[in-house]
């Protein structure tokens, strides 16, 4: 088996030159000698995002985004689907962990003043990514359709109501009506599984591209 895999890898590497690419960007990539373990927070945040995507895809196979069946589908996942409880728990825990890691990553960048020229856009894109992370957590909070998630979403959607002039319009837009109901659940579901992840992926691509262009912080 190992000989077959080695031969397959050699055939692919000979044509696509994967090994030099991996060595340049991963295994032999030069980084500042002062870089410590704290520099891993950004990469760990990305890892959590990928875990969220994978576990979310698995949960989508059984979840039903309608008020009459949302909670029953979550209960079915946790009780009847093999290892469903584990996948659901991993999804929840990594969501919280991702928020913590993004905050720690931002705190490190602020402490070491890595946002200074020419890396201002790193900070701006990072703030946007942090906001999108919070948005993913908030929209996912309603999806189980429990009393806790319902009232949490109700309180959360009332916060923009304090904005002068357009506050009530924002609340109505977020709830897709005057009250939280099936339309709200469908809207949050679309935001959580498609719109916000797509926007976050685009900003992450920009974020990583800028880091590749300007470096992490100090000379290599």
Return the minimum-mean-pLDDT range out of 118-132, 136-150, 201-215: 201-215
Structure tokens at 220: 């290599």
DSSP string, 89-126: HHHHHHHHHHHHHHHHHHHHHHHTTTTSTT-HHHHHHH
CB 94 within 8 A of CB 46: no
Question: Distances in Å between the alpha carbon of 8 and those of 1, 21, 22, 122?
Answer: 11, 18, 17, 39
- Residue 1 predicted with pLDDT over 70: no
pLDDT of res. 22: 80
Confidence of residue 15 (pLDDT cuts 50, 70, 90): confident
Q: Output phi, psi for 78, to 5 deg.
A: -75, -25
Residue 91 lies in a domain: yes
- pLDDT for 41 equals 92
- CA-to-CA distance for 40 and 43, rounded, in angstroms? 5
Q: Is residue 20 part of a domain?
A: no
pLDDT digits over 184-220, tens only?
Answer: 999 999 999 999 999 999 999 999 888 878 877 655 4
pLDDT of residue 219: 52
Burial class (CB in 10 A: 0-12, 13-18, 19+), 4: exposed
Question: Which pLDDT value is given to residue 14?
Answer: 84
Question: Mean pLDDT over all residues of the chain?
Answer: 89
Number of independent structural domains in the chain: 1
How far apart (Å, rounded) are the C-alpha atoms in residues 18 and 22? 6
Per-residue pLDDT band for 81 (boundaries 50, 70, 90) equals very high
H/E element holding 164?
none
- CATH number of the domain that residue 98 is part of: 1.20.810.10
Residues in Cβ contact with 187 at an 8 Å cutoff, skipping those fewer than 6 apart = 174, 176
- Residue-wise pLDDT for 18-45, tens only, equals 888 888 777 777 777 667 777 789 999 9
State the residue range of the domain holding 134: 40-214
* Domain membership flag for residue 144: yes
Residue 142 lies in a domain: yes
Q: Give the predicted TM-score (pTM) of the model.
A: 0.85
Residue 8, domain member (yes or no) = no
Distance CA 69, CA 145 (A): 9
56 domain residue, yes or no: yes
Q: Return the pLDDT at 71.
A: 94
pLDDT at 217: 62
Q: How high is the pLDDT of residue 6?
A: 85
């Amino acid at each position: 088996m190992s000989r077959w895999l080695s031969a397959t890898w050699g055939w692919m590497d000979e044509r696509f030159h994967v090994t030099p690419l991996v060595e340049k960007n991963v295994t032999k990539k030069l980084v500042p000698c002062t870089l410590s373990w704290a520099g891993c927070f950004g990469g760990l945040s990305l890892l959590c995002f990928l875990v969220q995507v994978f576990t979310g895809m698995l949960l989508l196979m059984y979840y039903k985004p309608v008020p009459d069946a949302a909670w029953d589908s979550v209960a079915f996942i946790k009780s009847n689907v093999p290892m469903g409880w584990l996948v659901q728990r991993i999804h929840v825990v990594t969501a919280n962990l991702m928020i913590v890691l993004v905050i720690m990553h931002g705190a490190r960048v602020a402490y070491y003043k890595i946002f200074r020229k020419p890396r201002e856009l790193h900070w701006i894109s990072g703030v946007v990514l942090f906001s999108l992370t919070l948005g993913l957590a908030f929209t996912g909070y309603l999806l189980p359709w429990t009393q806790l998630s319902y009232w949490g979403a109700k309180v959360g959607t009332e916060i923009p109501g304090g904005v002068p002039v357009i506050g009530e319009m924002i609340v109505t837009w977020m709830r897709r009506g005057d009250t939280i109901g099936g339309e709200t659940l469908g809207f949050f579901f679309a935001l959580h599984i498609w719109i916000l992840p797509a926007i976050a992926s685009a900003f992450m691509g920009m974020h990583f591209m800028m880091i590749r262009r300007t470096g992490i912080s100090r000379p290599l």
